Chains A and B, each alone.
Chain A
Amino acid sequence: MTFKGKALGMAAAAAAMIAAGAVHANKADGVLNAAFTKELENVDSYFNSSREGVVLQRAIWDGLIYRDPATNEYKGNLATSWEWIDDTTLEFKLREGVTFHNGEPFNADDVVYTVNFVADEANGVKTQRNVNWMKSAEKIDDYTVRIHLKEAFPAAIEFLSGPVSMYPNEYYAKVGPSGMGLEPVGTGPYKVSKVVPGSHFVLEKNENYHDSPKGQPEIAKVDIRTIPDVNTQIAELFSGSLDLIWQTPADQAEKLSTMEQFTVANESTMRIGYLTLDAAGRTGEDNPFTKLKVRQAVAHAIDREALVGALLKGKSKVVSSACFPSQFGCEQDLTSYEYDPEKAKALLAEAGYPDGFSTDFYAYRDRDYAEAISSFLNAVGIETNFNMLQYSALRELRMKEGTPVSFQTWGSYSINDTSAITSQFFKFGALDDARDEEIRDWLNVADSATDPDVRKENYSKALKKIADEAYWVPMFSYNTNYVYTKEIDYTPTPDEVLRFTTMRWK
């Protein structure tokens, strides 16, 4: 053996020893090690608003209804059937024989308690929009329940299949949200065996999981750690102490996909990225963005195809309407602005800015996308003063004073309905930069109508006007990369929810 050979052999032996010492996760011991990037403040799904929270919510709890992510068909989960009694009353027949992880049986009392608790604003559910359409719940008998709505709300079924999950009444009354966050109890496919707030979560398979449309879990144990740095996650993936990471940036995912021991799957998400322009003149009457031609110039200045092709990659698409294309009512047949810097310059000149102008540009995430966008604006003469703020700081600034132009994104809470995005931002709320009464009125009709055709027609009118007026410059939809070892068999869904229940060992 040459010296080089010896050295290599020793290195390999050392590596093997290190590997043997590490906690190894694999098919053999049935533990799947995964990483979260962000800290989760409270596991109680009504008291966090993060994607990580949604992932745990879907594993630990069940809703009355389940939307099949492949077919978008609604199926009964904790309810077996439901019907609209009138515009504001929904009646459910509940599944019998379901028990919570702590042994408490599931029945109408749990539903009534949960709905009444979360619908009461005083209890401070973090994302009020998820629950504030419900007024109260009423028990008819042990397995029949009615939910009363405040007003007609066609997206009720969608919400009940998503963020509204059922809690055990006796346990929740005793421990409250903070206790639930430390020792969560639900009916879901996984029970929680360990919570270290913010950093470490261990899930174990629920052996007595009911016959749910979510399917039966196979992976015996899921060990989730919070690892904020993507490079550390990748290094742990290489060393074998992680089996699955997600939300991996496009460039790294591309490199990982060339390595044969990993599967890189890409799925689109409902999140879209857009520029919101101060058309209402909130930052000053003489703000250039109050002029239609300036806004159109911005739309023509950005090469959205290049952003998608070079930066976002994967299943991202260019979007032209102010919503995600799969959402109900998201009109696609409207004005679209092609990349044409010359036309943008001409429009600026027509608007009275032949030499361009200077403006503050704000962003809170995806610094590289934001930089690329601001560079496109610089190229046509709109000199941008780049400001990167924390999400909460930028949100507050936008609510109080507005911003001339800011790069925003919105994920619609994965709700497949235009009301979850367009109506959020164009109905004279604090974040409405357009303040267009006509659009508000159309959206009001669309949000509360029960006839799908009326809804579609009004959303269409509103979205067309938003595009014509270029209040927003919608740019692209996001995607998520999921990277996992070849031992795992998993097909991600387009709603950015990691489903441990459907994962299998190969």
Chain B
Amino acid sequence: MSDATTNMPTDPMLEAIVGPTPGQMLRKRIFGHQGLMIGVVVLGLLVLVAIFAPLLAPHDPYAQSLMARMKPPVFLGGTWEHPLGTDHLGRDYLSRLIYGARVSLLIGLVAATISGVIGTAMGVAAGYFGGKVDAVVTYLINVRLAMPVVLVALAVVAILGGSLQVVIVVLGLLLWDRFAVVMRSSTLQVRGREYVAAAKAVGCSTPRVLMSEIMPNIANNLIVVMTLEMAHAILLEAALSFLGLGVQPPTPSWGLMVSEGKNMMLFEPWMVLIPGAVLFVLVLAINLMGDGLRDVTAPENRS
């Protein structure tokens, strides 16, 4: 087809028949999808903020000044010295928000990756092999679904003590259920396809079939679940930190900031609203991106 277009570019008849290439269509869907674009831009900005935190933060996020506690943000009559005010120990709110982005994104990314690896391995194995393997995996998924995530995370963190590493590992080990469910059913759908049968017929090993025939064809679902679980992990970290069992002070975390501002909620609502709003924006951006990716990669499922 491409030969035809390059050799006879002037033929009007043929030009009308030749449509855009799949790549062009994909690009058009991506750039035409408003939600996806907003999600990607916002998330991209937050990632940049997290990476360049030391350059962007106006103050040391750990430097306390007890004489300058709870200064209001600039739009509530504060000064540009602390554009978003200071917290209950006189630390710069903006700087803590900027460094907090690192914690949230790191937890989201690493926890979702850990659970993604676990869940995908289990799901693909169950879907591909079926039988006893499927029965065992389905049982494990049911067991996992029967446990309330927050409660289990609270208990484990309470026993092991809260720290960034513990929270990441606990969430990573808890959030694999959706990966397993989705990957299992996606694998079931593709394992009977002709190209899988063909690969088996030419004598490909099972790992090869899984890696080069199955995985590429279910990767779009994986990406969508990954974004959902990232958002989930970020919210759970905020919840754990809010309850005092997540990231430990003085590490800046948005959930911790909401928790610390909570006491003054009736009098200084901005202390809760600012980190709450940023958390909302981040989770919204990730979800928009996930929704958009689903629409773009699987247009036939679009409702």
With A307-B66, A309-B66 already in contact, the answer to whether A388 and B248 are too (CB < 8 A) is yes
Q: In the complex, are the beta carbons of A378 and B62 less than 8 A apart?
A: yes
Q: How far is the CA of A249 from the CA of B267 in the complex (A)?
A: 13
| Residue B184 at the chain A interface, CB threshold 8 Å | no
Chain B residues with CB under 8 A of A234? 266
Chain A residues with CB under 8 A of B148? none
| Residue A406 at the chain B interface, CB threshold 8 Å | no
Of the listed stretches A321-329, A366-374, A416-424, A448-456, chain B binds A366-374
| Residue B152 at the chain A interface, CB threshold 8 Å | no
| A contact residues, range | 20 to 34
Interface centre among A252, A303, A371, A387 (most CB of B within 10 A): A371
| Residues B251-289 near A (CB distance < 8 A) | 260, 262-267
0 or 1 for each of B70-81: is its CB under 8 Å from A? (1 = yes): 100000000000
Question: What total of A-B pairs shows CB separation below 8 Å?
Answer: 59
| Residue B191 at the chain A interface, CB threshold 8 Å | no
Q: How far is the CA of A378 from the CA of B161 in the complex (A)?
A: 20
With A374-B250, A375-B250, A378-B62 already in contact, the answer to whether A231 and B262 are too (CB < 8 A) is yes
Closest CB in chain B relative to A254 CB, distance in Å: 9
| Residue A13 at the chain B interface, CB threshold 8 Å | no
Q: In the complex, are the beta carbons of A306 and B67 less than 8 A apart?
A: yes
Q: In the complex, are the beta carbons of A371 and B89 less than 8 A apart?
A: yes
With A310-B67, A375-B64, A387-B161 already in contact, the answer to whether A255 and B248 are too (CB < 8 A) is no
Q: How far is the CA of A390 from the CA of B262 in the complex (A)?
A: 20
Chain A residues with CB under 8 A of B248? 385-388
| Residue B59 at the chain A interface, CB threshold 8 Å | no
Q: How far is the CA of A231 from the CA of B262 in the complex (A)?
A: 8
Selected from B64, B70, B161, B244, the residue in CB contact (under 8 A) with A251 is B70
Q: In the complex, are the beta carbons of A367 and B250 less than 8 A apart?
A: no
Q: In the complex, are the beta carbons of B249 and A371 less than 8 A apart?
A: yes
Q: How far is the CA of A235 from the CA of B267 in the complex (A)?
A: 11
Closest CB in chain B relative to A461 CB, distance in Å: 35
Chain A residues with CB under 8 A of B89? 368, 371-372, 375
With A368-B88, A371-B249 already in contact, the answer to whether A231 and B70 are too (CB < 8 A) is no
Chain B residues with CB under 8 A of A251? 70, 88, 263-264, 267
Q: In the complex, are the beta carbons of A367 and B263 less than 8 A apart?
A: no
Q: In the complex, are the beta carbons of B66 and A310 less than 8 A apart?
A: yes
| Residue B29 at the chain A interface, CB threshold 8 Å | no
Selected from B62, B244, B250, B266, the residue in CB contact (under 8 A) with A235 is B266
0 or 1 for each of A281-314: is its CB under 8 Å from B? (1 = yes): 0000000000000000000000100110111000
Chain A residues with CB under 8 A of B263? 230-231, 249, 251-252
Q: How far is the CA of A231 from the CA of B271 in the complex (A)?
A: 14
- Closest residue on chain A to residue B64 by CB atoms: A375
Closest CB in chain A relative to B160 CB, distance in Å: 11
Chain A residues with CB under 8 A of B161? 387
| Residue B69 at the chain A interface, CB threshold 8 Å | yes
Q: In the complex, are the beta carbons of B264 and A303 less than 8 A apart?
A: no
| Residues A373-423 near B (CB distance < 8 A) | 374-375, 378, 385-388
Q: In the complex, are the beta carbons of A375 and B62 less than 8 A apart?
A: yes
Chain A residues with CB under 8 A of B249? 367, 371, 374, 386
Interface centre among A235, A368, A385, A387 (most CB of B within 10 A): A368
Chain A residues with CB under 8 A of B88? 251, 368
Q: In the complex, are the beta carbons of B244 and A367 less than 8 A apart?
A: yes
| Residues B61-103 near A (CB distance < 8 A) | 62, 64, 66-67, 69-70, 88-90
Chain B residues with CB under 8 A of A378? 62, 250
Q: How far is the CA of A249 from the CA of B262 in the complex (A)?
A: 12
Selected from B66, B70, B264, B267, the residue in CB contact (under 8 A) with A372 is B66
- Closest residue on chain A to residue B161 by CB atoms: A387
Chain A residues with CB under 8 A of B250? 371, 374-375, 378, 386
Chain B residues with CB under 8 A of A252? 263-264, 266-267
0 or 1 for each of B34-70: is its CB under 8 Å from A? (1 = yes): 0000000000000000000000000000101011011
Closest CB in chain A relative to B201 CB, distance in Å: 59
Q: How far is the CA of A249 from the CA of B266 in the complex (A)?
A: 13
Q: How far is the CA of A306 from the CA of B65 in the complex (A)?
A: 9
Q: How far is the CA of A388 from the CA of B64 in the complex (A)?
A: 19
| Residues A234-257 near B (CB distance < 8 A) | 234-235, 249, 251-252, 255
Q: How far is the CA of A252 from the CA of B249 in the complex (A)?
A: 22
Q: How far is the CA of A375 from the CA of B250 in the complex (A)?
A: 8
Closest CB in chain B relative to A317 CB, distance in Å: 16
Selected from B66, B244, B267, the residue in CB contact (under 8 A) with A303 is B66
Closest CB in chain A relative to B207 CB, distance in Å: 43
Q: How far is the CA of A387 from the CA of B162 in the complex (A)?
A: 8
- Closest residue on chain A to residue B90 by CB atoms: A310
Q: In the complex, are the beta carbons of A255 and B66 less than 8 A apart?
A: no
Q: In the complex, are the beta carbons of A310 and B265 less than 8 A apart?
A: no
Q: How far is the CA of A387 from the CA of B163 in the complex (A)?
A: 9
- Closest residue on chain A to residue B248 by CB atoms: A386
Closest CB in chain A relative to B29 CB, distance in Å: 48
Closest CB in chain A relative to B85 CB, distance in Å: 14
Closest CB in chain A relative to B42 CB, distance in Å: 31
Chain A residues with CB under 8 A of B70? 251
- Closest residue on chain A to residue B69 by CB atoms: A310
Chain A residues with CB under 8 A of B66? 303, 306-307, 309-311, 372
Q: How far is the CA of A234 from the CA of B67 in the complex (A)?
A: 26
Q: How far is the CA of A368 from the CA of B248 in the complex (A)?
A: 12
Q: List 7 A-B contacts (CB under 8 A).
A: A251-B88, A306-B66, A309-B66, A311-B66, A367-B249, A372-B64, A375-B62
Q: A378-B62, A387-B161 are in contact. List 5 more A-B contacts (CB 8 A).
A: A251-B263, A255-B264, A309-B66, A385-B248, A388-B244
Q: B residues touching A (Cβ–Cβ < 8 Å)?
A: 62, 64, 66-67, 69-70, 88-90, 161, 244, 248-250, 260, 262-267
User: Closest 6 A-B residue pairs measured CB to CB?
Assistant: A310-B66, A306-B66, A255-B267, A375-B64, A386-B248, A371-B249
Q: A residues touching B (Cβ–Cβ < 8 Å)?
A: 230-231, 234-235, 249, 251-252, 255, 303, 306-307, 309-311, 367-368, 371-372, 374-375, 378, 385-388
